[in-house]
């Protein structure tokens, strides 16, 4: 409620009177169990679950990541930076689902608060997703979306984005906490009542986390993040929360003229056209989610003319580089005081797992001694402050994938074949013909 002394219509003073407006019965919340439950507890054996079978999204890889496809009445929150491809991917999914649902007589509704209808049509034409069963709506009012959904009874409702819609039941501008909460609540209750799948697009902050109240992530069933460098052609789809399938799943897309294309086997996708004969490169068998990926790690050690040598890292935390260099200096008696050291993860990937340590150490030593690693060498393992190499998670998964891809030698922590326990053993094994850099 807001107090006013002057009428905003006639501009007269002291003519306004306070009144209480009761909320109509139609605005009452629908129980999560459906209209028939009426808030009464019932036995789980008697719960009616027919009509809630998952259906395909048109992308088999996406169905696998989600669990078993799209579930009626479920809500999916998709986050990502501007221009990363959220709208493109969801319009593809909407077009594919629209073709499947035409036989069932249920359309797909794509509601956008960011683009006009001609803009949406232009993208759909480019993607080849102009389907008569795909309906579009451009509005900034959630009431318009609710009214259209009640009239059309869609099988899938895509809202792009939740921060651009406003509700008359909340105060403030679109995107604030109260508006996001009110809009999300209205749409969730609508889709549970209609039995349609809801996909919400969410903005992210400059720190990369979803904007708005944390409650939004608790309200939905699945939280997906679309990541990647806009200057690169690939995108990573990560699943952080999933009530219908596994968490921490990963899917790799390639951005093309026809939209998002799934990379079927991303195991070596990020290696690119690497030249294994050059020094300063190593391959790590990283695990992102449940998927092993062979990724190149590069390092450059060059003489410095500065009083304080430079240290730079791309694709991982620079603090990890400083820590590993200190361990090398202490345990291998190396002197990095007269060299600049630069390191990066190839392909624009960002890695934040302990298995990267061993490959990063090998790349630095390879550049320092100017000795290339064996062509098919792959490494992984965590390096502690004592120079010991510790095992990491998913050891068997990494080893199986490395053997399948034909890597040899396979350097990993442990006492078994191919295993090493210290960075001194790594140096002796890979750089036994090393040459000291010229002073």
pLDDT at 21: 53
Check if the beta carbon of residue 247 is closer than 8 Å to that of residue 224: no
Where do the domains of the chain lie?
54-264, 269-430
Q: How confident is the model at residue 246 (pLDDT cuts 50, 70, 90)?
A: confident
Confidence of residue 124 (pLDDT cuts 50, 70, 90): very high
Q: What CATH number matches the domain at 54-264, 3.40.50.300, 3.20.20.70, 2.40.50.140, 3.30.830.10?
A: 3.40.50.300
Architecture of domain 269-430: 2-Layer Sandwich (3.30)
Whole-number pLDDT of residue 155:
94
Q: Tell me, yes or no, if the two domains 54-264 and 269-430 fold the same way.
A: no
Q: Give the pLDDT mean for 38-63.
A: 83
Q: For 9-48, what is each residue's pLDDT tens digit?
A: 677 787 777 766 554 444 445 454 554 555 688 888 887 7
Q: How large is the average pLDDT for residues 329-345?
A: 94
The pLDDT of residue 3 is: 64
pLDDT for 27? 46
Statement: residue 137 has pLDDT above 80: yes
pLDDT at 165 over 70: yes
Task: List pLDDT tens digits, range 202-244.
Answer: 988 877 788 778 888 999 999 999 988 777 788 889 888 999 8
Q: What is the pLDDT of residue 438?
A: 46
Mean pLDDT, range 289-294, rounded to an integer? 84
Report the pLDDT value the prediction gives residue 417, as an integer from 0 to 100: 74
Beta bridge partners of 399: none
How far is residue 250's CA from residue 237's CA, in Å, rounded to a whole number?
6
Sheet holding 222-227, edge to edge: 134-138, 108-112, 156-160, 197-202, 75-80, 222-227, 234-242, 249-256, 259-262
Instruction: Using the predicted structure, report yes or no on whether residue 299 has a pLDDT greater than 50.
Output: yes
From residue 182, alpha-carbon distances to 141, 174, 236 in Å are 12, 10, 30
Residues making up the annotated binding site for ATP are: 80-87
Percentage of the chain surpassing pLDDT 90?
Answer: 56
Which pLDDT score, from 0 to 100, does residue 117 have?
Answer: 94
pLDDT for residue 24: 46
Burial class (CB in 10 A: 0-12, 13-18, 19+), 49: exposed
pLDDT greater than 90 at residue 280: yes
Which residue's structure tokens are 């068997």?
396
What's the pLDDT score for residue 53?
A: 85
Residue 94 pLDDT > 80: yes
Binding residues: 80-87
The predicted pLDDT at position 439 comes to: 41
User: What pLDDT does residue 224 have?
Assistant: 93
């Amino acid at each position: 409620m807001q107090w006013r002394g002057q009428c905003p219509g006639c501009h007269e003073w002291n003519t306004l009177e306070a009144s209480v407006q009761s909320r109509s019965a139609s605005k009452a919340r629908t129980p999560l169990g459906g209209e028939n439950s009426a808030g009464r507890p019932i036995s789980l054996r008697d719960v009616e679950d027919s009509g809630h079978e998952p259906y395909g999204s048109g992308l088999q890889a996406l169905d696998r990541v989600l669990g078993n496809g799209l579930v009626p009445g479920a809500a999916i929150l998709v986050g990502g930076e501007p221009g990363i491809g959220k709208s493109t991917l969801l319009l593809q999914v909407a077009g594919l689902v629209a073709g499947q649902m035409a036989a069932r007589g249920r359309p797909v509704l794509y509601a956008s608060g960011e683009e006009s209808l001609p803009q949406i049509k232009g993208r759909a034409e480019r993607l080849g997703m102009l389907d008569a069963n795909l309906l579009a709506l451009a509005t900034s009012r959630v009431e318009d979306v609710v009214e259209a959904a009640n009239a059309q009874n869609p099988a899938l409702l895509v809202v792009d984005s939740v921060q651009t819609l406003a509700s008359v039941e909340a105060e403030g501008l679109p995107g604030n906490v109260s508006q996001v909460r009110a809009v999300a609540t209205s749409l969730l209750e609508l889709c549970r009542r209609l039995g349609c799948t809801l996909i919400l697009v969410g903005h992210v902050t400059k720190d990369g986390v979803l904007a708005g109240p944390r409650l939004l992530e608790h309200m939905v069933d699945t939280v997906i993040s679309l990541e990647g460098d806009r200057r690169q052609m690939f995108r990573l789809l990560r699943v952080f929360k999933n009530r219908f399938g596994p968490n921490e799943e990963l899917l790799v897309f390639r951005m093309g003229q026809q939209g998002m294309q799934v990379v079927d086997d991303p195991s070596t996708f990020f290696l690119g056209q690497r030249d294994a004969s050059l020094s300063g490169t190593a391959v790590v068998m990283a695990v992102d989610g449940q998927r092993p990926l062979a990724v190149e790690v590069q390092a450059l050690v060059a003489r410095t003319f500065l009083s304080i040598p430079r240290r730079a890292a791309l694709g991982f935390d620079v603090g990890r580089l400083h820590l590993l260099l200190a361990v090398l200096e202490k345990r291998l008696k190396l002197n990095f005081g007269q060299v600049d050291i630069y390191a990066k993860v190839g392909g624009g990937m960002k890695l934040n797992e302990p298995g990267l340590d061993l490959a990063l150490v090998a790349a630095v030593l390879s550049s320092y001694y100017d000795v290339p690693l064996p062509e098919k060498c792959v490494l992984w393992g965590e390096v502690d402050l004592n120079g010991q190499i510790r095992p990491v998670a998913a050891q068997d998964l990494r080893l199986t994938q490395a053997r399948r891809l034909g890597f040899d030698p396979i350097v990993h922590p442990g006492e078994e074949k191919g295993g090493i326990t210290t960075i001194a053993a790594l140096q002796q094994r890979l750089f036994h013909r090393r040459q000291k850099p010229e002073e």
